[in-house]
Amino acid sequence: MSYRTALTRVLSEAVAPGAEAVRTRGIFPRAAVSALGGAGLLGLTVAAELGGGGRELAEAADVVERTARACPATAAVLQAHYAAVAVLEAYADPWLRREIVAGRHLCSLALAEDEAGDPGVGTPLLSPRGTAERSGGVVALRARKHHVVAAGEADLYLWSSRPVSASTGLSLWAVAAHAPDLFVPARPSRSGPRGSATSTVLADPALVPAEALLGEDGGGLDVLLHTVLPWLLELRAAAGMEAAGDPAAGSDVSLAV
C-alpha cells in the first residue's frame, strides 16, 4: 500500500471524524496520531532498511498539507514530528528509529526558551540559555522550553542546550518524555492550533544518559540551520502557515537570527 493510500484511509477514518472536537474542545488528537503511527506514517521518513517509508521532505510535506485540510492541530503535530525525525535519522540509534517506524514514538521539538515578546526574543533558537552538566554517564539538563507542540503528549523531544564542554555552539539531545524531573507545568498556551497541546516543558533538571547526545557536543547549530529550520519552513508552507508568524513550531526565522 502506498503512503498516499494509507493517508487517505487515516484521514477519513480517524483524523476528520475527530477534528471538530479537537478544534472546539481543545482535545489532543490522540486517536489521529495513533492511526498515523499504525499506518506507518510517523515512520514515513525513516530509512527503508529499518522498516520505514524511506521518503524525503517532499513526501512529508504532502502528508502535512493533506492533513492540515482536515485538522490543523494534527498537521502541527506532524510538522514538529517530521522535523525532529530528520535529525534522529542522522544521529539516533537504530532501536529508536525502529520504535518510530512502529508508531510507538511521537517526537517533538523543545528548542525555544523565550516567550513571545520577552527580552532577547531574537536569539533563543540559536543561542539557548539552558545548560547541560555531565556527571559520569548522566547529563542534567536545565531549561524552560516554550512553544513545544504535543507537550506532555510526545514520547520524545529534540532538546537544545549549551554545550557540556565545547566552548561554542549548542548541543542537541534526544530526551525521553519519562526522563526524571521533566514535566509540563501548565497547558495549553496561547500559541499553536487549538488541540495541538502547545505549551511549556520544564527541566529542573531532567536527567538523561550521556548517549542521548545527538552528534557532537557543540555541533547542533549547524544541524538546526541546515536540517531543522529548512524542514520546518517547508512543512509550515505545506500546511498553509505563514513562514514567519506563529512561533509554536519553532520555525520562525525571526526567532532564530
Helix 229-238 / helix 72-91 crossing angle, nearest 10 deg? 150
Model pLDDT for residues 9-58, shown as the tens digit of each residue = 999 999 999 999 999 999 999 999 999 999 999 999 999 999 999 999 99
User: What's the pLDDT score for residue 122?
Assistant: 41
Contacts of 63 (CB under 8 A, 6+ apart): 3, 7, 41, 44, 78, 82
The reply to whether domains 3-105 and 110-220 share a CATH topology is: no
Q: What is the dihedral of CA 102, 108, 110, 111, to 10 degrees?
A: 110
Q: Are strands 213-214 and 199-209 parallel, antiparallel or unpaired?
A: unpaired
Of 154, 240, 234, residue with least CA distance to 198: 154
User: What's the pLDDT score for residue 192?
Assistant: 79
Domain residue ranges in the chain: 3-105, 110-220
CB 185 within 8 A of CB 203: no
pLDDT grade for 206, boundaries at 50, 70 and 90: very high
**DSSP code string of 213-255:** EESSTTBHHHHIIIIIHHHHHHHHHHTT--TTS-GGGS--HHH
Superfamily of domain 110-220: Butyryl-CoA Dehydrogenase, subunit A, domain 2 (2.40.110.10)
CB 115 within 8 A of CB 246: no
Sign (positive or negative) of CA dihedral 222, 228, 232, 234: positive
Q: Residue 256: is its pLDDT beyond 90?
A: no
Distance (Å, whole) CA 181 – CA 257:
31
Instruction: Work out the average pLDDT over 176-190.
Output: 82
pTM to 2 decimal places: 0.91
- Residue 37 C-beta-side C-alpha neighbours within 13 Å: 20
Of 44, 14, 12, 29, residue with least CA distance to 192: 29
Tell me the CATH number of domain 3-105, given options 1.10.540.10, 2.70.70.10, 1.10.150.120, 3.90.1170.30.
1.10.540.10
- Residue 60 C-beta-side C-alpha neighbours within 13 Å: 30
- What grid cell was written down for 29? 488528537
Contacts of 145 (CB under 8 A, 6+ apart): 110, 111, 112, 113, 130, 157, 159, 200, 201, 202, 203
Q: Residue 155: is its pLDDT beyond 50?
A: yes
